[in-house]
């Protein structure tokens, strides 16, 4: 199903709840039953979506970038969270089409789940209340500013039963999965000076390790199996500085940096080898010490 972007009347037709209380209770019940299966990012994403889905109960038109900014996660993390929530059946994403053609950002629908209820013995810490929002006749559907300015509901935590040790382990695994492997996780094989140099452009461990691999390949292509010593690192850093300068001069694009760096370093290593092999040789006769009677 596709709807026109910024069409408020079409949005109203997507309403999935009659009242804000119904929406709130559905989200609370879902979190009670499925919290152990959700990543922390998915939980925060669902709570944030529910706050934006009050004007038309169940319908959220906030942009991914807005949600990411609010919960301080990357857009990629939000997409993964939405995928998980969609797989569990609590939300649905619908494409929108702009008036001038092309797709707009998707509308996120929170769906009722029949039979999903909170047990009688479970109560919220504080009675959940849905805040009143002023009716707006001229709604800017491309902005969520009004949603942020209005007082918003908070989905309060529910008092749940103790989870067993296996569920605790599962949750810890989820949290670990969310960790970004930055420069602190780079293999010890990569010199610290190299990491410090290149992390101004590439801060992920995998990116830095891939760049170091291309560094080793550049030397091996010229010298064969070899060890990159301190003197060789001087060439490495000179090649990197040339690459950064070229980018700063806007002569190469950012995604071309690894390839340009490799080509520059390879050329420098090759030139160094040629300078050694082409170095003028001293004739043997000039190496003989006629005074001492032995070769120098």
Q: What is the pTM of this model?
A: 0.43
* Judgement on whether residues 173 and 188 belong to the same structural domain of the protein: no
Could you tell me if residue 66 is inside a domain? yes
Instruction: Of 276, 187, 191, give the one whose Cα is nearest residue 234.
Output: 191
| Whole-number pLDDT of residue 97 | 84
* Judgement on whether residues 198 and 156 belong to the same structural domain of the protein: no
Of the residues 127, 142, 177, the one at which a domain ends: 177
Q: What does the pLDDT look like over 40-73, one tens digit per residue?
A: 999 999 999 999 999 999 999 888 999 999 988 9
Q: What does the pLDDT look like over 146-196, one tens digit per residue?
A: 444 443 444 444 434 444 444 455 445 545 555 668 888 899 999 999 999
Beta bridge partners of 204: 182
* Judgement on whether residues 65 and 125 belong to the same structural domain of the protein: yes
* Judgement on whether residues 26 and 130 belong to the same structural domain of the protein: yes
Could you tell me if residue 296 is inside a domain? no
| C-alpha–C-alpha distance, residues 220 and 226, integer Å | 6
Q: In terms of residue numbers, what domain contains 213? A: 184-277
Mean predicted confidence (pLDDT) in 127-151: 39
Which domain CATH number covers 114?
1.10.10.10
* Judgement on whether residues 197 and 167 belong to the same structural domain of the protein: no
| Whole-number pLDDT of residue 275 | 87
* Judgement on whether residues 85 and 209 belong to the same structural domain of the protein: no
Q: What does the pLDDT look like over 230-289, one tens digit per residue?
A: 889 999 999 999 999 999 999 999 999 999 999 999 999 999 888 888 766 555 555 555
Could you tell me if residue 284 is inside a domain? no
Could you tell me if residue 220 is inside a domain? yes
| Whole-number pLDDT of residue 181 | 80
* Judgement on whether residues 147 and 11 belong to the same structural domain of the protein: yes
Are the C-beta atoms of 109 and 14 separated by less than 8 Å?
Answer: yes
| C-alpha–C-alpha distance, residues 278 and 258, integer Å | 30
Of the residues 158, 177, 196, the one at which a domain ends: 177
| Whole-number pLDDT of residue 176 | 58
Instruction: Of 240, 235, 241, 234, give the one whose Cα is nearest residue 269.
Output: 235
| Whole-number pLDDT of residue 280 | 63
* Judgement on whether residues 16 and 161 belong to the same structural domain of the protein: yes
* Judgement on whether residues 127 and 189 belong to the same structural domain of the protein: no
Could you tell me if residue 282 is inside a domain? no
| Whole-number pLDDT of residue 279 | 64
Could you tell me if residue 163 is inside a domain? yes
CB atoms within 10 A of CB 9: 8
* Judgement on whether residues 141 and 207 belong to the same structural domain of the protein: no
Contacts (Cβ under 8 Å, ≥6 apart) of 24? 50, 128, 130, 153, 155
* Judgement on whether residues 159 and 210 belong to the same structural domain of the protein: no
Average pLDDT over all residues of the chain: 78
Could you tell me if residue 289 is inside a domain? no
pLDDT of 1 above 70: no
Could you tell me if residue 287 is inside a domain? no
Q: How many CA atoms lie within 13 A of 253 on its CB side?
A: 2
Of the residues 114, 145, 177, the one at which a domain ends: 177
Contacts (Cβ under 8 Å, ≥6 apart) of 155? 24, 27, 28, 31, 47, 50, 51, 128
Q: What does the pLDDT look like over 196-238, one tens digit per residue?
A: 999 989 988 999 999 999 999 999 999 998 889 988 999 999 9
| C-alpha–C-alpha distance, residues 232 and 222, integer Å | 13
In the chain, count H helices and then E strands.
Answer: 11, 6
Domain count, the chain: 2
* Judgement on whether residues 57 and 199 belong to the same structural domain of the protein: no
């Amino acid at each position: 199903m596709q709807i026109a972007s910024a069409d408020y009347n079409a949005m109203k037709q997507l309403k999935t709840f009659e009242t804000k209380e119904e929406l709130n209770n559905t989200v609370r019940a879902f979190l009670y039953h499925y919290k152990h299966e959700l990543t922390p990012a998915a939980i925060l994403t669902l709570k944030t979506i529910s706050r934006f889905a009050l004007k038309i109960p169940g319908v959220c038109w906030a942009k991914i970038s807005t949600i990411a900014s609010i919960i301080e996660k990357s857009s990629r993390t939000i997409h993964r969270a939405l995928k998980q929530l969609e797989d569990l059946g609590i939300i649905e994403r619908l494409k929108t089409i702009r008036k001038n053609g092309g797709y707009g950002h998707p509308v996120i629908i929170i769906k009722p789940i029949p039979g999903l209820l909170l047990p009688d013995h479970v109560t919220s810490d504080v009675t959940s209340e849905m805040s009143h929002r002023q009716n707006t006749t001229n709604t800017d559907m491309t902005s969520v500013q009004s949603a942020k300015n209005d007082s918003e509901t908070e989905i309060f935590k529910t008092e749940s039963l103790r989870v067993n040790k296996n569920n605790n382990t599962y949750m810890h695994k989820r949290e670990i999965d969310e960790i970004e492997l930055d420069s602190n996780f780079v293999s010890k094989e990569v010199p610290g000076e190299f990491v410090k140099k290149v992390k101004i452009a590439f801060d992920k461990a995998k990116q830095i390790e891939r760049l170091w691999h291309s560094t080793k390949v550049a030397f091996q292509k010229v010298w064969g199996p070899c060890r990159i010593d301190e003197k060789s690192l001087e060439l490495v850093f000179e090649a990197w500085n040339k690459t950064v300068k070229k980018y700063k001069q806007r002569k190469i694009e950012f995604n071309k940096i690894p390839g340009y760096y490799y080509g520059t370093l390879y050329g420098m290593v090759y030139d160094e080898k040629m300078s050694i092999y082409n170095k003028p040789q001293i004739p043997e006769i000039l190496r003989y010490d006629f005074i001492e009677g032995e070769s120098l």
